[in-house]
Amino acid sequence: MADSTKGIDPRGPRFGAAITGVLLLVVIGLSLAGLQLAATIVFAYITLVFAWGAFAGVQRHPYGLVFKAVVRPRLKPPTELEDPTPPTFAQGVGLAITLIGLVLSLVPGLELVLPIAAALAFIAAFLNSVFAYCLGCQIYLLLVRAGVLGRKNGTPAAA
């Protein structure tokens, strides 16, 4: 596994959030148009990508790798690096929301759970991509401050 103490470019997770946000809008549109199977397939893909980010870390996230290879070389270096732990935790939060939404949407009569879960995830992706406000990172920091999650090197991780 990559060294988790090495910082990441904070624009990478924002790039991934933008892609995720667009895909979530596609899910909402497909679902509301009655194309439940197509919406479920796209939502399952999003869920798998969140799982990848949560378990492999944001350093190995597919959108992060695209950002690193294609986008970052065209940008100025970042002014600061970010601890990858909070964004990786945020991927786990995204995984939980999408997995619950996906499973519940498969229950007959609960088809509206899919666009609702997609809308909730979209809000988080939108806030991250447009305003650099990561809800999952904020949850991580709250849990660190509350003592639920451990601290790195004796100090709380910055988001």
CB count in 10 Å sphere of residue 135: 17
| Residues of the chain where predicted confidence (pLDDT) is lower than 70 | 1-5, 151-159
Domain positions in the chain are 11-145
Cβ-Cβ contacts under 8 Å for 119 (sequence gap 6 or more): 24, 28
- Kindly report the pTM of this predicted structure: 0.84
Whether residue 47 contacts residue 96, with contact meaning beta carbons closer than 8 Å, is answered with: no
Whether 17 contacts 125, CB under 8 Å: yes
With CA atoms as reference, report the closest residue to 16 among 61, 60, 74.
Answer: 61
Model pLDDT, residue 64: 87
| 9 C-beta neighbours (distance < 10 Å), count | 19
pLDDT given at position 63: 92
pLDDT for 104 equals: 94
Q: Which amino acid is at 110?
A: L
